[in-house]
């Protein structure tokens, strides 16, 4: 018969990885998403942040997802438990009042210490979901970055995305007009490694009900 095992799209690499809950109240959760776990179910893999939390919080199933992390990215993800929290948190994402920072390990040495990348992105129609830089039809995409450490011919970088496009940090790192250096383990825009070295390390948002400013930092495992 056909060997289906080797297709990574069919193999659930996150099967044994737990979602860690960093904070929980009646309105929302802040979780640590493991690398390789989908945010929502895929065509083939019916295991995701969404499906696991919908089992655990059946009353909240319609409201859970307010934003997504790429399957390969680990780290902080905000989850709503009520209709009101979902609506108000989504509004914060749309209005860009939520501050997020990511840590990435880049496959080479970056000589500058910080900067800004402003490269418009659109989906590659021939090769979805791959994104490409397109000055004519791309959506404005902006990222601030600073070097945290240079070691072993690699550079650890903190990214602050100003916009939230799909694969934004991955393309802004790899593109010749960006940092011209792919994130370690980026099999889309660079070369394979044991995992994509991109981690959602920080979030700051306003609690939808108490209106308290909430901040979370999450250490990175690479």
Tell me if the pTM is above 0.85.
yes
- Count, residues in the chain: 222
Kindly report, residue by residue over 130-143, the tens digit of the pLDDT.
999 999 999 999 99
C-beta neighbour count of 207 within 10 angstroms: 15
State how far the Cα of 14 lies from the Cα of 35, in Å rounded to an integer.
Answer: 7
Superfamily covering domain 103-198: Pseudouridine synthase (3.30.2350.10)
H or E segment at 144? strand 142-151
Kindly report, residue by residue over 93-135, the tens digit of the pLDDT.
999 999 999 999 999 999 999 999 999 999 999 999 999 999 9
Structure tokens of 201? 């390390």
| Confidence label for 6 from pLDDT (cuts 50, 70 and 90) | low
State how far the Cα of 118 lies from the Cα of 201, in Å rounded to an integer.
Answer: 22
- Main-chain phi, psi angles of 52, to 5 degrees: -65, -45
Compute the CA torsion angle 212, 52, 60, 62 (nearest 10 deg). Answer: 110
pLDDT attached to residue 43: 86
pLDDT attached to residue 12: 84
What amino acid positions are annotated as catalytic residues? 70
State how far the Cα of 38 lies from the Cα of 45, in Å rounded to an integer.
Answer: 8
Residue 169: strand pairing partners: none
Is the CB of residue 216 less than 8 Å from the CB of residue 76? Answer: yes
């Amino acid at each position: 018969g056909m060997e289906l095992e080797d297709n990574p799209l069919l193999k659930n690499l996150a099967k044994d990885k737990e979602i860690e809950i960093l904070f929980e109240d009646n309105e929302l959760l802040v979780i640590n998403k493991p690398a390789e776990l989908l945010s929502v179910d895929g065509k083939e893999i019916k295991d995701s942040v969404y499906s696991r939390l919908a089992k655990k919080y059946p009353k909240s199933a319609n409201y859970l997802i307010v934003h997504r992390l790429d399957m390969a990215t680990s780290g902080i993800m905000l989850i709503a438990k009520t209709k009101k929290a979902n609506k108000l948190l989504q509004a914060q994402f749309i209005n860009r009042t939520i501050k997020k920072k990511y840590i990435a390990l880049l496959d080479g040495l970056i000589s500058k210490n910080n900067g800004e990348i402003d490269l418009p992105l659109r989906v590659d129609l021939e090769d979805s979901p791959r994104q490409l830089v397109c000055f004519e039809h791309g959506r404005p995409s902006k990222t601030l970055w600073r070097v945290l450490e240079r070691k072993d011919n690699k550079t650890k970088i903190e990214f602050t995305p100003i916009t939230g496009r799909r694969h934004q940090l991955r393309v802004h790192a790899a593109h010749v007009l960006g940092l011209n250096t792919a994130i370690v383990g980026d099999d889309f825009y660079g070369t394979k490694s044991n995992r994509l070295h991109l981690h959602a390390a920080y979030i700051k948002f306003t609690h939808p009900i108490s209106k308290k400013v909430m901040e979370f930092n999450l250490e990175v495992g690479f």
